[in-house]
Amino acid sequence: MPSSVLSNDISWISISAVSAILLAVIPLLKYLSTLYFEKHKINLKKLEIAASVLSDNLDSPTFKQRYLAEQVFRNIHGFRFSYHEIKVLLKYHEPSLAFDLYVKGYRYLAWSKNFKHIQMKGQYRSLSVFGFKLYLADIRFIIGYFSLGFACVYATLLSISTIVLMNGGETFNSLFFAAVYAFTSIISGIMAFHFIASVGSIKYAYQLLDMKVKSLK
């Protein structure tokens, strides 16, 4: 068998293997992303603090009440809220869900000039694929995930092979390139995680707007 054919076969096998690995870890990465939000769930103590802080003067709070409310909700959700945001989101029929959706979809949300209503920053196009609604931004995130995922895996393999094949006379150069590959792998991995974690953010933003229509009439 010609070596070029064998090389092509190995290349396709490698690409298929990496693709399978990247597909397999998607549920894990989404779980880790969800876990990040879940760890900030309200516990009883935090809920009691929030209730005591906001029990009076919701519309005209003192500086201390505003500060405490912002700190409590930041601690609950791991997100920096302003008092105006807290005040509006608390008016939803399901405020806990409203806060969660806002944190997940805030990149695509904007506030009205009087800071009383939430709206989308723009119009986001979508496609229907096998009955599933996919936003074009999500498709870009998925493409970015796979592109950077390949870069992460490839850079990791280069770093490992550079160290394994290190030559005694070229130790410094080998370590330098191994470090560069490792750094590239880490950055690519972080960005790939960010891309896959961002899939669905537009959907969460629209869900919050649907809640607004139903809850804040």
pLDDT on residue 5: 37
The tokens of 215 are what? 């809850």
pLDDT on residue 15: 57
Would you list the domain boundaries of the chain? 3-38+126-198, 44-121+201-215
pLDDT on residue 1: 42
> Of how many residues is the chain composed?
217
pLDDT on residue 102: 92
40 with 53: CB under 8 angstroms?
no
Distance CA 18, CA 20 (A): 5
Decide: residue 112, CB within 10 A, 0-12 exposed, 13-18 middle, 19+ buried: exposed
pLDDT on residue 78: 78
Which residues on neighbouring strands pair with residue 118, listed in sequence order? 111
HSE-up (13 A, CA, CB side) for residue 87: 16
Distance CA 73, CA 121 (A): 24
Distance CA 84, CA 66 (A): 9
* E strand or H helix at 141: helix 136-164
Query: How many DSSP H helices and E strands does the chain contain?
Result: 8, 4
What is the mean pLDDT, run by run of 10 residues, along the chain of 217 residues? 41 56 61 55 56 63 80 81 86 84 90 84 83 84 88 85 72 81 89 86 90 58
pLDDT on residue 112: 84
